[in-house]
Structure 1
Amino acid sequence: MGNALRFLYGHCCKPTTSDDPQSLGPHGVSSSTVGLSALAHDLFHFENTSQVPEGLSKHVVSSKKAQANWFRKLVDAWKDAKPPPRTPEEAARLVILTLKGHKKADVEGLLTFYGLPLPHTLVEVTAQPPTSLPHGVKFEMHTLPVDAKAVADGDTVTVYVSTADPRESSVLPRNVHEAALHRSEARSRRNYEEADAFHKQIIDAGYRMIPFENDEILAKKYRIRLRGIDAPESAMPYGKEAKIELTKILQGKSLRVLVYGEDRYQRCVGDIYCNNIFVQEFMLKKGLAWHYTAYDKRPELETWEKEARSKRVGLWASRNPEKPWDWRKNKRGGN
């Protein structure tokens, strides 16, 4: 069996302990990767037995013989992929490309069987990260990896920036620096009550000690409001979906944030880039946010929203979804 497929199977199907156990799928992985894991498992099984999965025929129109032909092609395609797919979106693209020319009902049925994104929901991001700071940017930050719990909703995330960063070190309050030193010394004496008291001082000042690579980093806390978009509130239709999608793209990643200013809630308003993906473009094309025209007139944001509207993806499945700013206004009026 090919090394690439063996590695993929071992990687995708290895149970994880970082997710909520209730969110784990039948292969012991998170709900966001269970389709990828299941497909990897079935490709592994097919190469050893030449048997396609039971139940697939309920989702496709072609025969078992045709299904076996698909799986042979997919096994070869997966071995040739460099790197192999690591996300449901990447797996869906490989399936679509490999089975190009086959019946649409079969391709979509196969994707549905594994819970992978359908063709019309896949997003191609085009915006490139700027090589120099655009006009209006106050400062740039590079964050530590984002925790899933730090994503508040579809347009707000809490991030931390190491105080080793030159900009942060130049404005680090002396009392915070000293509290971090005292905490470290207290922990070395195993006086954890004293250490926790120093950590509270650090947290109250807007900082935190963040575990990182078997060590701890003193980091500044920032709340980021994604510039130019407005996602549905949590209690609105697609509010939960927007939060889940933003979490999937940000979780565990270090971000590049271009900060333009602050809003009335003391959140930094900025553009976020994650693995060279412009996050606002992604959320708009997914149909999980509006272009916030009251605060941002960029024409590309309008174009990306129109693209999602035309495809009727996400919240645009409804012909007239309620805008979050109207929802908030009505809620304030009701209270």
Structure 2
Amino acid sequence: MGNALRFLWGNCCKPSTQESESLGPHGVSAATVGVSALSHDLFHFDITAQVPEGLSQHVVSLKKAQANWYRKLLDAWKETKSPPKTPEEASRLVIQTLKRHQKADVEGLLAFYGLPLPHTLEPVPLSVPVGVKFELQTLPVDAKAVADGDTITVYVDTSDPRESSAVPRDVQFAAIERSKARAAKDYVKADALHKNIIDAGYRVLTGLDNEDILARKYRIRLRGIDAPESSMPFGKEAKDKLIKLVQGKCLKIYVYDTDRYGRSVGDIYSNGVFVQETMLKKGFAWHYAAYDRRPELALWENQARAAKVGLWAQSNPEKPWEWRKDRREGR
């Protein structure tokens, strides 16, 4: 992408001396075609698995890591409802997708495309839906954390301001002592300490740079939908679809309530995609109208019914809440 764009930019739209000084190393400026350059390079990577030439001059990580960035950015670009149209939007997508990578790499990548650096962006006004008790920003989700089509387990970094003040002192102490035990190669002690941490609702995870991250565990029940149970028809398919939507992603979760099983009931967004919407539209869940009256959920279920997709390919699919009731009553 880089060579072709530089040729077109240099010969068709050659800037004045003053303008050329503001160009990024990719041959574009933030006010012109940086977004197109990134879009083109992601398309090129999708076909060839090759990162742009010259990128290594502006970042600190090697090409294997660079390829990992482009895979993540490609997924994020494809999954967002409205692909970035402005340099600011593209910059925010890069920053959000690569937020756990080294600062020098993220800023080098942005500069390569002439996109705004993090400190130059205006803060986005917060818009939290009515009724939300709190918001979670999770660590990347593991596929094993998905129990079925409507329940997942997530972890939140305790360095998050909301979490940091709530970590029990014995958990903090155990995390420090575990680190010391591992450094001394006393893995029996380290494992025992980690078990205590897990029993308290936390876990020590490994970050991208192999650093230890103390994280809090949350069990999430997707608000407003009810997916088929694992042993029901389309139960496996519903779980697989949810895995595909969340695996490896850092999720935004708006928590509204806690159910009788201690799960946080919330709306989940994965790279800007509303997960419940996708599950309903693809026919992998019912609208759980007994607990959520939002009309858009009913609309999305009806659209899937009409198209006979997913579980609606069956003539008379059993409702999961009725299936559970029958088994409780021994029918």
TM-score (norm 1): 0.63
Counterpart in the other structure of 2:184:
189
What is the deviation of 1:5?
7.4
Instruction: Note the residue ranges of structure 1 that are not aligned, 5 or more in a row.
Output: 13-82, 91-129
Counterpart in the other structure of 1:223:
219
Counterpart in the other structure of 2:272:
276
C-alpha separation in 1, matches of 2:140 and 2:130: 27
Match of 1:244 among 224, 240, 252: 240
What is the deviation of 1:225?
0.2
Match of 2:141 among 129, 137, 146: 146
What is the deviation of 1:319?
2.5
- The SS at the match of 2:279 is helix
What is the deviation of 1:267?
0.5
C-alpha separation in 2, matches of 1:86 and 1:167: 29
Counterpart in the other structure of 2:49:
11
> Does the aligned pair in 1 maintain the 2:222–2:267 contact within 8 Å?
yes
> Does the aligned pair in 1 maintain the 2:42–2:74 contact within 8 Å?
no
Cα RMSD after superposing both structures: 2.4
- Between Structure 1 and Structure 2, how many residues are aligned? 225
> Does the aligned pair in 1 maintain the 2:149–2:227 contact within 8 Å?
yes
C-alpha separation in 2, matches of 1:291 and 1:315: 13
What is the deviation of 1:84?
10
1:251 to 1:4, Cα distance in 2 relative to 1, 3 A: closer
Match of 1:332 among 296, 319, 328: 328
Counterpart in the other structure of 2:19:
none
What is the deviation of 1:136?
1.4
Q: Cα deviation per residue 1:9-54 (whole Å; 9 max; x = unaligned)?
A: 4539xxxxxxxxxxxxxxxxxxxxxxxxxxxxxxxxxxxxxxxxxx
C-alpha separation in 2, matches of 1:85 and 1:282: 19
C-alpha separation in 1, matches of 2:135 and 2:312: 33
Counterpart in the other structure of 1:20:
none
C-alpha separation in 1, matches of 2:183 and 2:46: 41
Counterpart in the other structure of 2:113:
none
What is the deviation of 1:330?
0.9
What is the deviation of 1:86?
5.3
Residue 49 of structure 2 aligns with an amino acid whose one-letter code is: H
Counterpart in the other structure of 2:317:
321
Counterpart in the other structure of 1:69:
none
> Does the aligned pair in 2 maintain the 1:8–1:84 contact within 8 Å?
no
1:295 to 1:6, Cα distance in 2 relative to 1, 3 A: closer
TM-score (norm 2): 0.64
Check if 1:287 corresponds to 2:250.
Answer: no
Counterpart in the other structure of 1:163:
158
Residue 318 of structure 1 aligns with an amino acid whose one-letter code is: Q
Counterpart in the other structure of 2:230:
234
C-alpha separation in 2, matches of 1:84 and 1:160: 22
Counterpart in the other structure of 2:207:
212
1:171 to 1:243, Cα distance in 2 relative to 1, 3 A: same
Residue 243 of structure 1 aligns with an amino acid whose one-letter code is: K
1:4 to 1:186, Cα distance in 2 relative to 1, 3 A: closer
1:301 to 1:196, Cα distance in 2 relative to 1, 3 A: same
4+ residue stretches of structure 1 with deviation over 6 A? 1-6
1:131 to 1:305, Cα distance in 2 relative to 1, 3 A: farther
Counterpart in the other structure of 1:125:
none
C-alpha separation in 2, matches of 1:207 and 1:266: 15
C-alpha separation in 2, matches of 1:147 and 1:85: 19
C-alpha separation in 1, matches of 2:166 and 2:74: 42
C-alpha separation in 1, matches of 2:131 and 2:42: 46
